[in-house]
Amino acid sequence: GAVVSQHPSRVICKSGTSVKIECRSLDFQATTMFWYRQFPKQSLMLMATSNEGSKATYEQGVEKDKFLINHASLTLSTLTVTSAHPEDSSFYICSAPLAGGDPLEQFFGPGTRLTVL
């Protein structure tokens, strides 16, 4: 089956630093990837749609300058949390459908838990 990985699985950083989270489709190509944020005991909130070779589309209320997304290849999207603060501590999850496949059959990564001290 299609597998999506995320790296790192956990990261702890100091306030003010930047953190990069990778989302990789291991055995398929993905022209689109989605980034979600999940606060403790809350739902998944879509942050942005990452598009290979073009700019990401951000949801309302998500700061594009703070959450930089780069989709440089058909198998990799990165989310960089710039100047992270404690309120950015969250569980970040990516998902991706197969390129050219059913766009609603999305494969989710295992998530990255970010803790900002």
Partner 1 sequence: AQKVTQAQTEISVVEKEDVTLDCVYETRDTTYYLFWYKQPPSGELVFLIRRNSFDEQNEISGRYSWNFQKSTSSFNFTITASQVVDSAVYFCALSDMYSSASKIIFGSGTRLSIRP
Given the rule CB under 8 A, which residues bind partner 1? 31-32, 34, 41-46, 49, 51, 57, 91, 93, 95, 97, 103-106, 108-111, 113
Dig out the tokens for 104 from the structure.
């609603």
72: which 2 tokens?
Answer: 């440089």
* Least distance in angstroms from the C-beta of 43 to partner 1: 5
Identity of the residue, 21 or 93, whose beta carbon is nearer to partner 1 in the bound complex:
93
Nearer to partner 1, 15 or 42 (CB): 42
Task: Please give the C-alpha separations between residue 52 and each of 15, 40, 73, in angstroms, as whole numbers.
Answer: 30, 30, 6
Comparing CB distances to partner 1, the nearer of 60 and 87 is 60
Peptide bond into 8 cis (omega under 30): yes
**Minimal distance, residue 104 CB to partner 1, in Å:** 5
What residues pair up with 32 in beta bridges, in sequence order? 51
